[in-house]
Every structure is written in structure tokens, then in C-alpha cells.
Structure 1
């Protein structure tokens, strides 16, 4: 039997960084949402674990056998072994939780085949702060380092979304390190739409300082008349949300003509 899953692209509709902790991590409040497209994974039972990668961004994975997909397999009971194929369609170090989404997809495939073990949330969190949210890939609020999750019903499900990355990799660590340490206040409360519109991304300014082209991406997206355009995570991917699919497709076409070198993906919020 073969299992297949989409590793849904993660975006942060809001990301409020509250303080630096003594352990080097940061306390934050974030509103996770997921796009209905992303990397694609399939798995089939095998005598031992293996991982084959292909797709546009497969070459950006430094060590396929030491990557997060292999670590997710090691963390979960799944029989003798699995032969996993990963089509890497999301850019790497892009603020989309690509690796975390891949690990989340592995968790869902294992759940389909064998069920998840007790304590799987802790296993997911060990792999990365975004992984627990990516396992379910539904809109939720993350606190602590992003691993403490609370469900929230989304009034943005089905919203047309455009993702744009200038093909610039921005590692997360330096962006957090460049954060100025100022607590600009908690994430607002209310509906998902209200939190997104009234919230902010505190990593936007430090990311732009490291990778100035992000500001150009945001300006280009805002010129297409979305109701929200913001950077996701620690960058460099930015997203724009639209009221209609017609607006989305017009914006995607406009940007593809103006900046054909930029990567983009269209979809809807899950």
C-alpha cells in the first residue's frame, strides 16, 4: 500500500515576538494558517527506510538522509521501513515551514497506517517549533516557542492566497538574533480575520535588514490590492490575501510578468 500526503505550506498571519528567553529561544504568539498546496510526499513499505527527493528545490536540501523527514521517520513506529519520495516544491529557508510541513506529512501518513503513539506532540516539538502545528495543518494559535497550540475556528478558510518568494534563502536564526528586543504588545483577540488584520510580524523589519528585497516583494504585493499582505515567519516569502479568485489570478499574472524570476504559488487557506 502506498500513502501520499501534501505538506501544506505554513504561513503566519500574525507573529508577535514578546521576549528573548534565557535558553536562547523566544517567547512568541502566532496565528498559524495553511495553504492548500505545498510539497508532495508518498511512502511505501520497504525493508529499510529510504528517502528520494526531486522537484524544483530538491537540490537545496543539503543532506537528504539527515533531514527532518528522515528524523520524523526515526521518531515514529512505522513497521520495518518506508521508501519515501519527496517532491520539493516549496523553497527552502523561506518562512513557509517547508521542512516542518514535510515532517507533519510524515506524521499524518504514519497516523493513517499505524496510528500515532502517545506523546507524539513532544516528538513533533523535538523536530522543530513549527512541526506540531504542521501535523494537523489547520489554523491555530501558537504560544511559547510556537509549540503550545490552541484551536481556533477560521473565518478565512477558502480565502484566495498568493505566495511570493524572491528566491532568497533567509535562515531563521540570524533574523531572530537581529530582532531589537522590544515587546510591541500581545497578539490581538477576536476572529482569525480580525487577528490577521490587526496583528503584525515582528520579524519583518529584521528580515528586511538582512534581505532588503523582501521590501520590494511586499510593495509589489500591496500594489495588487489585497486585503492583507505580510511576510511569513522569518522570511523571505510574503503572502497576500484577496477577497476573490479573480483578484488573486490577476495579481499572480501581473507579478509573473513584472518579476518572472520570483517564485510564486497560488491557493486557498485551509
Structure 2
């Protein structure tokens, strides 16, 4: 919306200014201003570029009819320092992410909402290359080869969104 307003009213705000305004809306909002892969640090406001292309992949996002309280998710998380930094993991082939790239929220959120864990398991059963809960939940996404046909009817009354990435 900030980008739209900037363009519609010819405000000529620079990227950094838009990110500052976005940061006032929420800690993870500045990330969406650049619309390019970046490694975010701090409160989600310090960015460094990463070389990552998801061209040739399909993303399937599954949102169950479950609400995960961000407050509850943060109160239960036990962060674990990965043996390999996320920035390094992003430089590896996506086929290696399953064993390396973890979302620390999953342990506590899956314990409270096993149906979310089942979605991730089902994405892998459908041959996702990588799957993860998004942020603190409840959505789960899977990355697939673009040409792969995936039966999403197995997700029942969940909201399912599918798109090719470029």
C-alpha cells in the first residue's frame, strides 16, 4: 500500500524512507518494500542481498482454519542457533534445505496445533522439495518443481494458493 501511495501521489519517497514508514506498521513490514530476496536482521529492518532465484519452482501455500496467536507463539519459542547460518543455507541448493533450514516456531506451534504439522507432512508426502511453516503460523508452504502436478484436494477445507515463481 505504501508503494502504491508513493506512486499514485508522486511522493518520490526513496526505498529507505518507505521502509522506515513500513517499520512503523510492523516489524516484518519493511521486508516487502523491495520485493527482492534479502537476508533480514535486527527487527526485520536491516537487509543484505542474497543470491536466490526460485524461477522454475511452484509455491503452494496452505492456510488451515486455525488461528495461531503471535503472542503465544513468541512466548513458547525456544530459539536454536543453527550449525550453519541461514545466510549460508540460502546459498545451498534448495534440495538441501529440508535438512538444514528450520523454523524454530514449528516445535511449539506443532505441539499445540498438530493439524499444522500434518499439512507440512502432507506437502512432503506430495514430494515438496522444501516445506515450512510461514513465520509463527498457521500457514505452511511447499516448494515444488514447476511442472509437478500436486493434488491439493487432500488439504480439505483449508485455503490453498498455488503459483509459479519467477
Paired residues for 1:1-270 under 5 Å: 106-113=1-8, 114=10, 115-116=12-13, 119-185=17-83, 186-189=85-88, 191=91, 193-194=93-94, 197=97, 198-245=100-147, 247=148, 250-251=149-150, 254-256=151-153, 258-270=154-166
Alpha-carbon displacement from aligned partner over 1:145-164 (angstroms, at most 9, x marks no partner): 22211122322234211011
Identify unmatched segments of 5+ residues in structure 2.
none
Structure with greater proportional helix content: 2
Structure 1 residues 181 and 266 mapped into 2: Cα distance closer, same or farther (>3 Å)?
A: closer
Q: Equivalents in 2 of 1:123, 1:135: separation in Å? A: 10
Contact preservation (8 Å) 1:107, 1:116: no
Whether the aligned pair in 2 keeps the contact of 1:155 and 1:192 (CA below 8 Å) is no
Measure the CA separation in 2 of the matches of 1:195 and 1:150: 23
CA deviations 1:31-66 (Å, max 9, x no partner) are xxxxxxxxxxxxxxxxxxxxxxxxxxxxxxxxxxxx
Task: Tell me: CA distance 1:192–1:125, structure 2 relative to 1, closer, same or farther (3 Å).
Answer: farther
CA–CA distance in structure 2, aligned partners of residues 238 and 169 of structure 1: 13
Computing the radius of gyration from Cα coordinates, the structure with the larger value is: 1
Report how many residues are paired.
159
Q: Give the structure with the higher percent strand.
A: 1
Q: Distance in 2 between matches of 1:192 and 1:171?
A: 32
Q: Which aligned segments of 4 or more residues in structure 1 are displaced greater than 6 angstroms?
A: none
Contact residue 160 and residue 268 of structure 1 kept, 8 A: yes
In the aligned structure 2, how far is the partner of 1:195 from the partner of 1:126? 36
* Unpaired segments ≥5 residues, structure 1: 1-105
In 1: Cα distance, 2:119 partner to 2:76 partner:
20
Q: Quote the RMSD (CA, aligned, Å).
A: 2.3
- TM-score (structure 1 length as normaliser): 0.53
